[in-house]
Structure 1
Amino acid sequence: MKKVLVAGATGYLGKYVVQTLKQQGYWVRALVRNQKKLSQTGKFGEPAVAHFVDDVFVGEITRPETLKGALEGIDWVFSSVGITRQKDGLSFWEVDYQANKNLLALAQQASIEKFVFVSVFQGEALAHKLAVAQAREAFVKELKQSGIAYSIVRPSGYYSDMSEFMTMAAQGRVFMVGNGSGVINPIHGADLAEVCVRAFQEDVPEVDAGGQEMFSYQRIGEMAFDVLDSKPRFLNIPVWATKVLIALIKPFNKQQADLFRFFVTAANNTEIAPKYGKHSLRQYFLDFALQKDSQESGVGSQ
């Protein structure tokens, strides 16, 4: 039985990876900052996974001194660690690059057999435009030169990110960059977790992965309104205006400005990755709306 350390085990993808690994018979150690989150259902429907975990190691990947012993007895390492919605003031270089590099250094010392890392779709092309892609691709380069067997998983987009359309629709209006003609095939966390676990099992250095369905961003917005049984109302923002907004945000929060630039870039391009999985975005939206209603009525699961 292989023993696997999951870094980012309380995140959207990380929880599904923990669940999938355990369901396939692996021994799982979760590397977390907050152990309580393992017992909680995530805001995007990701499951509580405390009962899937064989061992919990509490540490901060940005502080290598807290990771002593984290890889003891471990065969494989998985990391999806990176800045998404954190508000702790850390930069992409401190988290997406350096934190993962800290883990890689431990993996080299422990002679880990394989390291699977989640980067971004078309990351190499985006690295010269976006700090988040630049930082993650810099780590990818470190991983490739480490001497450890590796696999880089590159999702086209997450269902959790598409939840923003539901949030906007619930507020009465969906903001759309340009004319909403960009196309994407986002993937559900459970389907992407299957891809990640398969990456350990197969000798494939890099895997691009998307869901089975392709949508324009306009269609995703329309679907959100339809699920909520609301009249579609859109506010189309010219691309030039988003650039002005990014410039205004940047002096106060560089990370949020770059994440906004990342989504603006995606919304104006076709990003179709090889298709995996079986989940539908509409069903995800229905489940998301139901969970939101339950949480607001005080019935949310923990």
Structure 2
Amino acid sequence: MEKILILGASGALGEYILKECYSRNFKIRVLTHSNEGYQKVRSYTDDIWCANAQEDLTKIKGITKGVDYVISALGKSVSLFSPGPNSFFEIDYKANVNILQEAKENGVKRFFYISMKGAEEASEYTIPGIHKLMEDALKESGINYSIVRPVGFYSGLNDLVIMAKRKVIPLIGDGEARTNSIFHGDLANYIMTEFLNLPELKEVGGPQIHTRMEMAKMIQKKIGGEIIKIPKSIAKHGSKLPKLLQLDEISDKLAYFRYIMSNDMIAEEHGKMNFETYLDQIDTEDIK
């Protein structure tokens, strides 16, 4: 029986990948950095490594021994409402590169990395740019790999749900930019269904294409709030203010939010859950 190491297994996407691997009877090893993460994954495996991969090199030494495949859903939240002590570079790049080096040393058959659409065409922005750095490291490593770029997750719009609860739904530009975001569970299912048939690079979207305005109206119908259009020029200058105040993380997130809200983000359609169904099944009281 083949063994999979899952990075970020306690996160939104990683937990679904963990469940998919478990249902397919893979042997599973996971990496987590917190007791909360440990509690989430302990029902699926007792092979749990607890460490911060970006800094605890001694604690991750040998983590890929006996592992056939690595799947990395390890990354920092892009939510404006989820600040953290570590940077995007430390988590999305440094931690993943440290595991990649271990994978090379221990003969892992393939490394699967969950990147994002925009890593290529928007690499001047911090968040997609750091994903591009990791993609480049994979390509140069000599290891077999698959890079999966989702166009975005439904949960990525939870920030708009939070704002709607505060009576405002901001849109950058005219709201006509289109996307087919995907549900985490659908992406996890796609990855594990295709698995070794995945190419080196695959961009994946959800089952329906909507404009940002259409999605905002769905949120408005579910939550309430007023949809307010913000001109791109104002949003651009606004995203620079936090950087002047040395709030680089907020600035990077605002710049990325502006980019995805004002550019088409579309890829091959997969999955079953549409955005309206996602909104119907979430507990808005848990989103604060």
Matched residues in 2 for 1:249 and 1:295: separation? Answer: 24
Matched residues in 2 for 1:237 and 1:126: separation? Answer: 21
Task: State which of 97, 102, 109 in structure 1 corresponds to 2:98.
Answer: 102
Q: Residue by residue, what CA displacement relative to the aligned partner does 1:84-113 show, whole Å, maximum 9, x if unpaired?
A: 255343332222222111110110111111
Q: Residue by residue, what CA displacement relative to the aligned partner does 1:222-270 show, whole Å, maximum 9, x if unpaired?
A: 1012123x3x511211111111211101132222211211121111111
The question of whether the paired residues in 2 share the 8 Å contact of 1:22 and 1:52 is answered with yes
In structure 2, what residue type is equivalent to 1:241? I
Matched residues in 2 for 1:96 and 1:149: separation? Answer: 19
Matched residues in 2 for 1:295 and 1:258: separation? Answer: 22
Identity among equivalent pairs (%): 26
The question of whether the paired residues in 1 share the 8 Å contact of 2:62 and 2:102 is answered with no
Superposition pairs for residues 19-30 of structure 1, below 5 Å? 19-30=19-30
Is residue 86 of structure 2 the alignment partner of residue 87 of structure 1?
no
Name 2:59's counterpart in structure 1: 66
Query: Deviation of residue 13 (structure 1)?
Result: 0.6
Task: State which of 156, 165, 173 in structure 2 corresponds to 1:161.
Answer: 156
The question of whether the paired residues in 2 share the 8 Å contact of 1:27 and 1:54 is answered with no
In structure 2, what residue type is equivalent to 1:116? F
**CA 1:294 to 1:62, structure 2 compared with 1: closer, same or farther past 3 Å?**
closer
The question of whether the paired residues in 2 share the 8 Å contact of 1:19 and 1:52 is answered with yes
Q: Residue by residue, what CA displacement relative to the aligned partner does 1:190-213 show, whole Å, maximum 9, x if unpaired?
A: 111123224532151111101001
**CA 1:37 to 1:94, structure 2 compared with 1: closer, same or farther past 3 Å?**
closer
Under a length normalisation based on structure 1, what TM-score does the superposition of the two structures give? 0.88
Name 2:146's counterpart in structure 1: 151
The question of whether the paired residues in 2 share the 8 Å contact of 1:114 and 1:200 is answered with no
* Secondary structure of the corresponding residue to residue 43 of structure 2: helix
Name 2:174's counterpart in structure 1: 179
Name 1:36's counterpart in structure 2: 36
In structure 2, what residue type is equivalent to 1:100? N
Farther off after superposition, 168-177 or 49-58: 49-58
The question of whether the paired residues in 2 share the 8 Å contact of 1:18 and 1:53 is answered with no
Matched residues in 1 for 2:50 and 2:133: separation? Answer: 26
Name 1:112's counterpart in structure 2: 108
Farther off after superposition, 255-264 or 144-153: 255-264
The question of whether the paired residues in 2 share the 8 Å contact of 1:3 and 1:74 is answered with yes
**CA 1:153 to 1:164, structure 2 compared with 1: closer, same or farther past 3 Å?**
same
Is residue 142 of structure 2 the alignment partner of residue 142 of structure 1?
no
Is residue 87 of structure 2 the alignment partner of residue 56 of structure 1?
no
Matched residues in 2 for 1:161 and 1:209: separation? Answer: 15
The question of whether the paired residues in 1 share the 8 Å contact of 2:38 and 2:48 is answered with no
The question of whether the paired residues in 1 share the 8 Å contact of 2:161 and 2:287 is answered with no
**CA 1:295 to 1:203, structure 2 compared with 1: closer, same or farther past 3 Å?**
closer
Is residue 203 of structure 2 the alignment partner of residue 208 of structure 1?
yes
In structure 2, what residue type is equivalent to 1:224? I
**How many residue pairs align between the two structures?**
283
**CA 1:294 to 1:32, structure 2 compared with 1: closer, same or farther past 3 Å?**
closer
In structure 2, what residue type is equivalent to 1:253? L
Under a length normalisation based on structure 2, what TM-score does the superposition of the two structures give? 0.92
Unaligned runs of 5+ in 2: none
In structure 1, what residue type is equivalent to 2:281? D
Q: Residue by residue, what CA displacement relative to the aligned partner does 1:140-190 show, whole Å, maximum 9, x if unpaired?
A: 111112121100000001111122222222221211111211111000001
